[in-house]
Amino acid sequence: MLKFALATFFFGFVILNTLLAQNAANTNTVILSGTVTSEAGELLNGVTVDVKSADGKSITNTTTNEKGIFIVNNLKPGSGYNFSFSYVGYETAYSRSFNVKEGIGNSMLIRMKQLSSNLDNVVVTALNIKRNPKSLGYSIAQVAGSKVNTVQTPNIISALSGKVAGVDVGNIANGVAGSKRIVIRGAASLTGSTQPLWVVDGILINSSVLGNGDAFGGIDYGDGLTGINPDDIESISVLKGNAAAALYGSRASNGVILVTTKSGKPGKNKMNVEISTSLLVDKLNDLTDFQKEYGQSSLISGNQRPVNQADARGTDSWGPKLDGKPTIQFDGVERPYSNADGNFKSFFRTGSTVTNTVALSGSSLNNNYRFSVSDLRNTDIVPNTNFNRTSLNGKVASTYGKLETEVILNYIYEVANNRLYTGGNVSNIFYSLMNMPANLNIATLKPGYNPDGSEFSYADFVTNPYFAINKEKETDKNNRLTGSVNLKYQFTKWLSARGRMTRDYYNFKRYSMIPNGVLGTGYLQGEMDQRTRENVENNYEFLVDVNPGLKGKFGISGYAGGNINWRTISQTSSSGNSFVVPGVYTFNNLLNKLPSTSESRQKTNSLFGSLELTYNKYLYLTFTGRNDWFSTLPVNNNNLFYPSAALSFVFSDAFKLPSWISFGKLRTSTAQVSGDASPYQLDLSYALESIQYNNTSLQVIGTSNIPNKNLKPLLSTDYEMGLEMDFFKGRLGFDFAYYNRNIRNDIAQSAVSSASGYATAVLNVGKLANNGMEVLLKGSPVKNNYFSWDITATFSKNNSKVVALGDGVKGAPIKLSGSKSAQVSIELVEGLPYSAIFGSTYLRDAKGAKVFNSMGLPIANTTQTYLGNGVYDKLLGFGNTFNYKSLSLFCLVEGKFGAKIYSESNATAVGNGTSKLTLAGREDGIVGVGVDQTGAVNTVKVAPNVLNTYYKAVANIAEDFIYDASFVKLREVSLSYKFPPTLLHKIGIANASVAVVGRNMLILHKNIDNVDPESSVNSTNAQGIERFVYPSTRNFGLSIKVGL
């Protein structure tokens, strides 16, 4: 009865209201129209427009059409209305107390801001499951696509530099297409990979380096990440801790980088076209400052000018003061003995990278799609060196009733020509350039070869750079096809199942050739290295998702699934040396053919699940569990279950806090992740040599590493705590995290005695600890309608420690790498941080004075000393964004601190007399400050004619060449301008922007002479050695984006 009465009353009320409204409409109403765009000027289709009266009564609601236009009828002139605009992925916009005028012409333009704060956003978490960031009990960093595609870099890793707290990006000096290094929260493996897992749209991407050099030389063939086109990136999520990454299992023990590419935007039957062009110019940043006062001489008794052609060969600059007198040179020609200068300028050219991307996207009711085609053309600062990439990407998502499908297909074709040899000496053009005595003019080395094609050079075992770039050849091609098919069936509102198949396939072919006539290499008749690597990684995933929603204050949801991961790598090599017919550089023309093939296969099966409990939308508790079965481990010991738990407490929602606190969240998590070994490490196996002896096959034990039948999975355990707070409606905020990660049973290649027959043994011995903290500070000191200033600062500190390297073994250090001079090695040593640099030091007496021998030369200690570590422990990123109307200025300053680097370039420069440090004693000789071997003050003078012996002795001691590798750089600058949409719409353009950009514009602080502190020889675990790598460059250019 009561129900009926109420219903009748309610019904009546509604009718009455409607009648009143009708009535009002009939009397003197006006129409208002408006346009809603994004900040970038894109017309937003489907924005919900809510209209309320001044007293809060709901008047009407509508949505914008594909032109971003909405129309509201029946508004009363003179009244104030409150408009609100809501749209997925954008901050809700308001227009309060909008006064409607009489007549026509009532219009408004609304620009909606894309969600950047993490308050109400969604983030992409493991397995591409979108979650509300509020609910996450662990740290996950989001980087917007615009942060990596305004100032573009060929390798996406470089674009992350300085932008995410706790992420150490190594901009290795191996050329634009070379591999870069990225380590999240410190190295998590002793001898295994420390690189995070890359997942692009759910597709696991193999980013292993395709060939690395080291101090002894080599070519870096990149890591395949150059294939990711920044223009396609919507956002990047960095999963730092184990809890965030646990669902990826073993591959995630170094963290995960999730790249989400752009999709077709919601909109009705309109095709969007995005065109972007980026041009970046690379200019040599010559940091060298060598002595230009004394010239070349290879005489044993230095100090005299060369008198014949033989004496005029060599990298030694121990000759007399440059005086302009005609003096014979390496080619037998007499030239003035004077500073040639400008060799670097004349050798290097201006490089450039041009990227063009065209993307088509759109959506209809049940479909959305995006296709893009992109082309990158790079020319290096070294002549004849270049890198090109062409990619095609397609993404189509459809809904058929309860079935949702998504198909992604990417094809990437990359070609690199003449990647350069770095490190080492022969073949390395940088070695040659950096060691040129001051009086040699590089023009005299042109064209690098004699009329018969054979090389000539100014010194033995020093490659003529022009020979290298004109006669030697390197080219590689990578064909990569990645794709996935995703099917999701929504049984009910709360139950769905998802099946997914992903595949990453690439075929990498490389060819390098050194022709006959080369000098200084092992094969004077030339050599050739030709390889093909085929990589396949398939994943088959199945997942059931249950999400019944809130039941009162409590919520429960979860999913469970399984995954099969299958990886194969097959390689063929057709290499050899000594061309029979000069000038024919094919495999068939080789005198010694050394073909070989190899294949590696591994499989991991997994079951996993996640359970999320919610209380009152402010307390979230998430549990995950995963069990992996590894094919690379012994069958009886090949699986491990590992759990994670994460708690998020949004206390700003739980308690009433002062109004200036807009958001507060406390989070904590703990998790384990397991890992396996590389394939074929369990049993001894025999390999056949690639060459036969008089038709007899030669067999050897195929490894210098002792296999281990008793391996078990490694285990990484971490916990983290974090606090996120925003104040003053988001004007100020911070995110603080503390983490602690321990790896035990790490499967490491431990050093063993050679007398065992092997160099290393694969053992579950490693214990490694990392702990540290990360701070993200955000602030908007100024924010008004015309001008805003946003600051984002990140700081992180990581403490790494090698805890144990063996049980009974007494922790024999693991040598990761060494300098070519043998004066320095990079080691893992118990009790020391990761990548410890050990090097030779001066022999000193009890008081610390250097000891000199009877000839006045410094003496080195026979054992090497710990001199610092090669990985940075403190990272700083400081980004400022200034917006004034349509102008936006972004600048990023990056600093890295706490690492040392051994500079072999500087040591060599002292040893051969090009360094400015060697000017002391040129005229009068030098007396080393210290004591002699009896303990008395050293008085032995090293005469000018044997000064080289003194400096060569100094160069052979590492101590003086260990530099603080800390630096501060102005990493990125961009000034962008967005053209006003009103103007653009007239010419049929939805949005357009142009930016002037710069990268690595300034080195604000460094402590190392002649080279860039970021000159590590490679991107491997062993950091801390520099030796004749790429010089640093400054990049600047233009970026244009147009949307139709």
Partner 1 sequence: MKNKFIQQSLLVSLLFIVVMASSCSKGFQEINKSVDFVSDPNLDFLLPSVELNMLDRTYYTQGDFAAPLVGQVTQGKTYATLIAPGGNHGYHFDWVYQNPLKSVADLIDHSKTDPVKVNYLSIGRIIRVYLFSLLTDVYGDVPYFEANQGYTNQAYFPSYDPQQKIYEDMFKELQEAGDALTPGKTVPTASSDIVYKGDITKWKKFANGMMLRLGLRIMNVDAVNGKKWIAQAITSGLPAGNQDNFIVTYMPSSYYGVTQNGQPHIFIRYFNNYRLTAPFVDSLKIKNDPRITAYCMLPGSTSAYVAGDKTASKQKGYPMFGSIAETKSNFSVGNINTFGRYEAPYIHLSYAQTQFQLSECVVRGIITGDAKAYYENGVRAAMDELKIFGAEGVITTAQATAYLLQNPYNPLTNDDALQLINTQYWIETHFNWYETFANMRRSGYPKIYNQFTDGTVLPRRLTYPLTEAATNPHLQDAIKRQGLDVVTSRVWWDK
Region 475-534 residues binding partner 1, contact defined as CB under 8 A: 491-492, 495, 497, 519, 522-525
56 contacts partner 1 (rule: CB under 8 A): no
Minimum distance of partner 1 from residue 572's CB (angstroms): 11
Look up residue 793 and give its two tokens: 């600062």
Q: Which residues pair with 776 in a beta bridge?
A: 735, 794
- Give, as ranges, the residues between 771 and 830 that touch partner 1 (CB under 8 A): 809-810, 812-813, 815, 822
Minimum distance of partner 1 from residue 825's CB (angstroms): 9
Residue 624: its H or E element: strand 619-630
CA distance 474 to 477: 10
Is the sign of the CA dihedral 423, 425, 426, 430 positive or negative? Answer: positive
Q: Which of 8, 346, 699, 933 binds partner 1 (CB under 8 A)?
A: 699
Residues, the chain, total?
Answer: 1044
- Choose the binding region for partner 1 from 210-218, 236-244, 685-693, 989-997 (rule: CB under 8 A): 685-693
Minimum distance of partner 1 from residue 742's CB (angstroms): 25
Minimum distance of partner 1 from residue 752's CB (angstroms): 4
Q: Give whichever of 751 and 962 is closer to partner 1, judged by the CB atom.
A: 751
Q: Give whichever of 523 and 738 is closer to partner 1, judged by the CB atom.
A: 523
Minimum distance of partner 1 from residue 603's CB (angstroms): 5
Residues 572/578/582/585 CA torsion (nearest 10 deg): 10
- Give, as ranges, the residues between 914 and 973 that touch partner 1 (CB under 8 A): none
Contacts of 943 (CB under 8 A, 6+ apart): 925
Minimum distance of partner 1 from residue 520's CB (angstroms): 9
Q: Give whichever of 198 and 630 is closer to partner 1, judged by the CB atom.
A: 630
- Give, as ranges, the residues between 270 and 299 that touch partner 1 (CB under 8 A): 299
701 contacts partner 1 (rule: CB under 8 A): yes
390 contacts partner 1 (rule: CB under 8 A): no
Q: Which amino acid is at 402?
A: K
Place of tokens 């591994």: 602
Q: Give whichever of 32 and 857 is closer to partner 1, judged by the CB atom.
A: 857
Binding flags for partner 1, 441-480, as an x/- string (CB under 8 A): -------------------x--------------------
- Greatest CA span in the chain, whole angstroms? 122
Q: Which of 23, 27, 58, 754 binds partner 1 (CB under 8 A)?
A: 754
Minimum distance of partner 1 from residue 1024's CB (angstroms): 18
Neighbours of 447 (CB within 10 A): 12
Q: Give whichever of 53 and 945 is closer to partner 1, judged by the CB atom.
A: 945
- Choose the binding region for partner 1 from 677-685, 775-783, 843-851, 1027-1035 (rule: CB under 8 A): 677-685
Q: Give whichever of 86 and 521 is closer to partner 1, judged by the CB atom.
A: 521
Binding flags for partner 1, 626-645, as an x/- string (CB under 8 A): ---xxxx--x--xx------
Phi, psi of 863 (to 5 degrees): -110, 155
The answer to whether the beta carbons of residues 408 and 265 sit under 8 Å apart is: no
Binding flags for partner 1, 324-343, as an x/- string (CB under 8 A): --------------------
- Choose the binding region for partner 1 from 33-41, 466-474, 665-673, 675-683 (rule: CB under 8 A): 675-683
Q: Give whichever of 424 and 877 is closer to partner 1, judged by the CB atom.
A: 424
- Choose the binding region for partner 1 from 268-276, 355-363, 589-597, 785-793 (rule: CB under 8 A): 589-597
Q: Which of 68, 224, 664, 707 binds partner 1 (CB under 8 A)?
A: 707
Minimum distance of partner 1 from residue 829's CB (angstroms): 9
Nearest partner of 352 among 1041, 1042, 1033, 1040, judged by Cα:
1033
Minimum distance of partner 1 from residue 243's CB (angstroms): 23
Q: Which amino acid is at 825?
A: S
- Give, as ranges, the residues between 1010 and 1039 that touch partner 1 (CB under 8 A): none
Minimum distance of partner 1 from residue 632's CB (angstroms): 6
Minimum distance of partner 1 from residue 973's CB (angstroms): 48
19 contacts partner 1 (rule: CB under 8 A): no
137 contacts partner 1 (rule: CB under 8 A): no
Q: Which of 120, 334, 341, 599 binds partner 1 (CB under 8 A)?
A: 599
310 contacts partner 1 (rule: CB under 8 A): yes
Could you give the angle at the alpha carbon of 64 between the alpha carbons of 102 and 120, nearest 5°? 115
Q: How many residues bind partner 1 (CB under 8 A)?
A: 84
Minimum distance of partner 1 from residue 686's CB (angstroms): 5
603 contacts partner 1 (rule: CB under 8 A): yes
If 0-12 CB within 10 Å is exposed, 13-18 middle and 19+ buried, where does residue 422 land? buried
Minimum distance of partner 1 from residue 95's CB (angstroms): 44
If 0-12 CB within 10 Å is exposed, 13-18 middle and 19+ buried, where does residue 718 land? buried
**What is the DSSP code (8-state) at residue 255?**
-
- Give, as ranges, the residues between 555 and 574 that touch partner 1 (CB under 8 A): 560, 562
**What is the DSSP code (8-state) at residue 858?**
B
Minimum distance of partner 1 from residue 600's CB (angstroms): 8
- Choose the binding region for partner 1 from 22-30, 259-267, 684-692, 712-720 (rule: CB under 8 A): 684-692
- Give, as ranges, the residues between 756 and 775 that touch partner 1 (CB under 8 A): 756-759, 761
Is the sign of the CA dihedral 773, 737, 186, 878 positive or negative? Answer: negative
Cα end-to-end span (Å), the chain: 61
In Å, what is the CA distance from 320 to each residue of 236, 911, 919? 58, 16, 11
Place of tokens 């060369």: 306
Check residue 540 and give left, alpha or beta (phi > 0: left; psi -120 to 50: alpha).
beta
DSSP state letters, 342-362: -HHHHH---EEEEEEEEEEEE
Q: Which of 6, 688, 920, 983 binds partner 1 (CB under 8 A)?
A: 688
Cα 120 off chain centre by: 28
Nearest partner of 369 among 357, 384, 359, 381, judged by Cα:
359
Residue 73: its H or E element: strand 69-75
Q: Give whichever of 22 and 753 is closer to partner 1, judged by the CB atom.
A: 753
Look up residue 158 and give its two tokens: 């470089």
- Give, as ranges, the residues between 840 and 879 that touch partner 1 (CB under 8 A): 862
Q: In 928-1038, which ranges are continuous DSSP H helix? A: 947-955, 981-986
Q: Give whichever of 461 and 882 is closer to partner 1, judged by the CB atom.
A: 461
Nearest partner of 389 among 172, 215, 177, 547, judged by Cα:
177
Is the sign of the CA dihedral 743, 745, 749, 753 positive or negative? Answer: positive
- Give, as ranges, the residues between 733 and 752 that touch partner 1 (CB under 8 A): 750-752
Look up residue 795 and give its two tokens: 């700081």
597 contacts partner 1 (rule: CB under 8 A): yes
Q: In 119-172, which ranges are continuous DSSP H helix? A: 146-149, 156-159
Q: Which of 689, 845, 923, 924 binds partner 1 (CB under 8 A)?
A: 689
594 contacts partner 1 (rule: CB under 8 A): yes
CA distance 904 to 430: 12
Q: Give whichever of 498 and 969 is closer to partner 1, judged by the CB atom.
A: 498
706 contacts partner 1 (rule: CB under 8 A): yes
Q: Which amino acid is at 731?
A: R
Minimum distance of partner 1 from residue 516's CB (angstroms): 11
CA distance 234 to 259: 8
If 0-12 CB within 10 Å is exposed, 13-18 middle and 19+ buried, where does residue 995 land? buried
Minimum distance of partner 1 from residue 571's CB (angstroms): 10
Q: For 891, what's the count of Cα atoms within 13 Å in the CB-facing half-sphere? A: 9
Q: Per the omega criterion (within 30 degrees of 0), is the bond before 447 cis?
A: yes
104 contacts partner 1 (rule: CB under 8 A): no
